[in-house]
Chain A
Amino acid sequence: MTRDRYVFLGLVLLFAAVNGVLLANGVLAADWEGLGVIVAAGLTLALYSFLYKDNPLFKVAENIFVGVATAYIFSQNWYQTIYGEVFVRLSALGGEDSASGDWWLLAPTVLGLLMLTRFSRRFGWLSRFSFAFFVGLGAGLTIPRTISSFILAQIEPMLQPLSWSVEGFNLLVILVGVVAVLVYFFFSVEHTGVVGKVSRVGIWFLMISFGASFGYTIMARLSLLIGRVTFLLDDWLGIM
């Protein structure tokens, strides 16, 4: 524990020294932007300290950022919608130039406010009306669009003539794959005999697609790392 403490102290001093040099050399300007880069670099390194082990520095950075992000998200909801639409339009109600239709805006406002009763023991049941509206309407809107966009539109391109060509072969592979995957996720029949064989084929297709997702996910995480390393080397240290 004490060794770790010295390591951290040393790193903090090193970080301060590096920033001192950067400021003295003019790599970083002594203004808000320069300070921003220093803060961002400090937080980035604090979070990376997790790689050594879970530690207080990491947790402090993690929690501060959760707080900042929460406030940012609040501000976006406040200025754009709750103030920008609801407050502005409702406070114009009854005024001479307000359209009569604006009264309708009271309905979602009330539903929205009722939602906030959820944490109250006595009035919590009122929030059920908001959720009933929200989830019920969402469920209704989903059904026809799911059928159109995900069932019909996805089936139709497979119902094409098969042929002796590369396209025909690919179409056949897709047909076999889709059917096999659906059979794999079919729970009414025991997976033995022909059904068992087809579902094995389904697993192969699933595995190839998981492999593709796996490769792409690795790519995504590395891209983020590249972004952060670029920030450290270029924006902070200025050595790229």
Chain B
Amino acid sequence: MLNKALSWLAGLVCLVVVASDCRGQAAAGGSVLPLIADVAAFDTPNDAGGSITLTWARSRSIPESAIYKAYIAEANEGPYYLASEIAGGANLQSEEPETFGYGDEAQDAHFLHIAEYAGREGVISLQNDKTYYVRLELHSGNISTRNPVLTASAEGNYFNWTKLNNIVLGALLSFLILGFISLARRRDLYIRRIGGLEALDEALGRATEMGKPVLFIHGLRDMSQISTIAAVNILGRVARRTAEYDAALRVVAPDPVVMSVSQETVQASYFEAGRPDAFNPDHVFVAGTEQFSYAAATEGIMVRERPAAHIMMGYFYAESLLLAETGSTTGAIQIAGTDAFTQLPFFVTTCDYTLMGEELYAASAYLSREPKLLGSLKGQDAGKAIIIAAIVLGALLATVDIPFLTQIFTPH
């Protein structure tokens, strides 16, 4: 609709230009330059208003020193004020592909946005929905040409067409993610085995053999965080196994809410394993609430009780180093899982197995089979597949000089 109106306006303007061609006049005092071809004036698209745009054809015959001058007025008879002047070779439409496209024709046309001009009483900004009269001139040495006056008015636009790629990609990703979530509600979706979970079982087995307890350590974030929810899901699995193997389990948390949720989870797991009697709520407790006192208290448990396995899950901050360091010196098997990328290096170098970033969520989805987690994960996988395809294809096409995908993926 809007585009149609624009092209109609442009067409009208061209007509005016053609009509005025025959009565082209030379400016006073100089010899004649040809009139500037295909001049058009219209509202600048994709903006909040307050700006109009002039476009005209590029002339390759004019000297480099030539300059274009645009004048603007609020009435046909003037007074006209200089709005802008640009060099003869500047402001090609190809410099602004988001507005004028990537076609070759953009090489052969100029553009100029006018948002303000220097009036008699200082700088005046263009107003919306007001008709402005603009005139383009070309000056070269002491000769010049003056095109007839055009009119245009600025207005606020309702859609930013330069964001088209953004909205299309957003809609596609939304469709995929929401689609997979609704699919996951109807049937179970496949995700691959997560290596870390096997390592976890192995560690629990060894703890049983050694007859020592297993220590589960929560990260610092509260129950509303995905990483904490994932940690609780994994704790459910750990508790189930320790109940089955009859191994002792200790759980430390820095937050009372995380602790009580963990208690419920462990209790439920012991119940499922048919060992409700073996559950002791005192084994799930808050070790400390401040970062370093939590770490120090947990270190104390590591050193005193010498658990056979330390399982650290959730979002960790700088205390990760203290935990993992003390933990590894006690000789326990250590398994960590965190989406705190800054702390991952410390876990990788001090733990026997580390679930990195999204692997933690995937493990949580794998264990809980919750549709919203599984569906999201699958939807994100689809998004990754699109990105991988775009990268590989786009780079290949760009190499053979077809920058089609590059243009699509350029943000404006």
Contact = CB atoms under 8 A, between A and B. Distances in A.
Asked whether A and B interact, the reply is yes
A54 B301 CA distance: 13
B31 interface: no
A36 interface: no
B348 A175 contact: no
B225 interface: no
Contact of B170 (A59, A144, A153, A214): A144
B173 to A, nearest CB: 8
B192 A189 contact: yes
A171 B394 CA distance: 13
Interface residues of B, number: 52
Given A178-B391, A210-B344, A161 B190 contact: no
B290 A213 contact: no
Given A158-B391, A185-B359, A190 B193 contact: yes
A105 interface: no
B341 A213 contact: yes
A158 B388 contact: no
B342 to A, nearest CB: 6
Interface stretch (B82-90, B146-154, B206-214, B397-405): B397-405
A91 interface: no
A62 interface: yes
B192 A185 contact: no
Interface string A131-162: 00000000000011001110111011011111
Q: How large is the interface on A (under 10, 10 to 19, 20 to 34, 35 or more residues)?
A: 35 or more
Nearest to B400: A161
Nearest to A47: B292
Contact of B394 (A63, A158, A190): A158
17 contacts: A62-B293, A147-B173, A148-B411, A153-B411, A155-B391, A158-B395, A161-B401, A178-B391, A185-B384, A186-B381, A187-B358, A187-B362, A188-B191, A207-B348, A210-B344, A213-B341, A213-B342
Interface of B: 163, 165-167, 169-170, 173-174, 190-194, 290, 292-293, 296, 300, 341-342, 344-346, 348-349, 356-359, 362, 377-378, 381, 384-385, 387-388, 390-392, 394-395, 397-399, 401, 403, 405-406, 409-411
Given A143-B170, A152-B411, A183-B388, 19 more contacts: A54-B293, A54-B296, A144-B167, A147-B166, A148-B163, A152-B169, A159-B391, A159-B397, A160-B398, A162-B395, A187-B358, A187-B362, A187-B381, A188-B190, A188-B381, A190-B192, A206-B356, A207-B348, A210-B344
